[in-house]
Chain A
Amino acid sequence: MNSYDGAVYYAAAAGLAHGLLPYRDFLFLHPPGIVVALVPFAALGRIIGDPYGMEAATLAWFGIGALNAVLVSRILRPLGVPAALVGGLFYAVFYPAVFIEHSTLLEAPAATLTLVALLLLSRAPTAAPIAPRVVLVAGALLGVSAGIKIWGVMVVVAVLGWTWITYGARRGLLLLAGAGVGATVVCLPFFAAAPGSMWRMVVIDQLSRPRSRLGLGQRLTDMVGLTTLDAGLVAVAVALAVAVAGCVLAVRSRQGRLAVVVLLASGALLLCTPPWFVHYAGLTAAPAAIMVGAAAGTLTGAARSIGTRGLIASLLVAGLAVVATPMLSAGFGRPFPAAPIAETAASLGGCVTTDDPTTLIQTNLLQRNLQRGCKLVVDLGGYSYDIHPGTVVPRSRNRPWQRFAIDYLRSGSGVIVMRFNRGFGFSAQSASVVRGWPVLLRAGQVVLRSPVRVDRGS
């Protein structure tokens, strides 16, 4: 098992493949782009089974990662082979980039669209004005990207500023118009079906999420790719100093300036956003890689003697090895005993409920639930932001959500609770209610229960 969020998006796509619309028929806290992107895999999952549909999507996401690395390299190619090589390899092994592309997270396709837009804008000839259609298409790509992850709006603002300064106001307005068209194409069908719900879930609920207890230090650690190492703040400070030096070197090229503008805007957003998860750092991975490649290009271009070039090449190789180290020391996730659970659940009538859609996907019970008309809940925890928006009360003390969660879980003939327990998500009473439901199967740490009528959690 890899990623809760990735499973949420796949389950939402499976819902859409069955005719259920996010916002109108089930809660979904992101723009709809990722649901649309995963629909082909969910449709495949209807034929070959969701475990395989999910695996196909995961393999495709690896491919998106490889494509993104090549796009970084392609953007940097005009600055020379060393810049293209360093930037592409940096992105290939940079932990925040690898993390967002090792499971079906929405940051990966959003990064692809952003990179194609940056490629279009930065490859235009310097002597002639950039073609209007190129700016329009780049804007549209950025708009679609924001239709996958709403933070893409900040990237649009940053690129708009760069385009305005580099190519003038008319091109800037064209970029903005393109972004509007792109975002509209992705969002309008869903917005038309449930305008109030979509606005509330995607904007209001997200903005009113409580601020994470993970402070500036953890955010910076994740952004510089040191998540998996117990490296300490000194290492983070060194990495930041290298990044600042890289920015100074990178701004000498057009590609580098564009990357630095996007990097600074994205980085500022990441430091301000209320919640924090490690995959958020993926937003800065692509511009960081372009910045690093551009800086490498400046360095190698300035070297005059063979000895200096050799020294710089050695430093760059050593630097890439250091960048790859956190990736190799990562270890997370847990095996999921799908077969015995699916076997036991096969005889159950009705619906199987869960606090983590991974269970339904891996047991192929998601399709059965959808065929039986069961309520689709892809993100049970997310309801806490929608039921009681703006609250600073932790989920475990959010009484309306506790009631909702227990009522939903109890609606199943079988229930698998994997994510929440006493103190984390559940109140003591809710945890007690769940523990009181008879056990049908215990497989490792996973328990399949059959809910019975007991007192409500609170």
Chain B
Amino acid sequence: MTDSASQGSLPKPTLATRLPGVALAVLIVAVAYVARLVLWYAAAVCAG
């Protein structure tokens, strides 16, 4: 059986099965982006 054939026999992921992964990614993106924004903002407003 070829790779593509074996992949074809696998059940296609549904939205419900993808949701936890998507939610995890969204949470991590939000935290990471805000953390960098906060550090940048702190650097911009703190007088040296």
Contacts and interface: CB of A to CB of B under 8 A. Distances in A.
A66 B28 contact: yes
Interface string B24-39: 1101111111011111
Nearest to A3: B43
A interface: dominant SS: helix
Contact of A328 (B30, B38, B40, B43): B38
B42 interface: yes
A270 B30 CA distance: 30
Contacts of A88: 24-25, 28
Contact of B28 (A58, A73, A324, A335): A73
A332 B41 CA distance: 10
Q: Which of B25, B36, B40 has the most CB of A within 10 A?
A: B36
A273 B43 CA distance: 27
A259 B24 CA distance: 21
Interface residues of A, number: 37
A69 B32 contact: yes
Given A327-B38, A334-B46, A85 B32 contact: no
Contact of A98 (B20, B24, B39): B39
Interface string A96-126: 0011011100000000000000000000000
A330 interface: yes
A77 B43 contact: no
A408 interface: no
A92 B36 CA distance: 9
Q: Which of B20, B25, B29, B39 has the most CB of A within 10 A?
A: B39
A85 B47 contact: no
B21 interface: yes
B16 interface: no
B interface: dominant SS: helix
B45 A335 contact: yes
Contacts of A330: 39, 42-43
B45 A65 contact: no
A215 interface: no
A287 B48 CA distance: 33
Interface residues of B, number: 24
B20 A58 contact: no
Given A62-B36, A98-B36, A102-B36, A81 B20 contact: yes
Contacts of B25: 70, 73-74, 88
Contacts of A74: 25
A421 to B, nearest CB: 13
Contacts of B40: 2, 58, 62, 102-103
A89 B40 CA distance: 19
A2 B24 contact: no
Given A2-B40, A92-B28, A333-B43, A98 B35 contact: yes
A61 interface: yes
A65 B28 contact: no
B10 interface: no
A84 interface: yes
A137 interface: no
B43 A1 contact: yes
B39 to A, nearest CB: 4
Given A70-B25, A84-B24, A103-B40, A92 B31 contact: yes
B29 A66 contact: yes
B7 to A, nearest CB: 12
B44 interface: yes
A332 B46 CA distance: 6
Interface of A: 1-2, 58, 61-63, 65-70, 73-74, 77, 81, 84-85, 88-89, 91-93, 98-99, 101-103, 324, 327-328, 330-335
Q: Which 5 A-B pairs have the closest CB atoms?
A: A334-B48, A333-B43, A92-B32, A88-B28, A69-B32
Given A102-B43, A330-B43, A335-B44, 4 more contacts: A331-B42, A331-B43, A332-B48, A334-B47
9 contacts: A62-B33, A62-B36, A65-B33, A69-B28, A73-B24, A89-B27, A92-B31, A330-B43, A334-B46
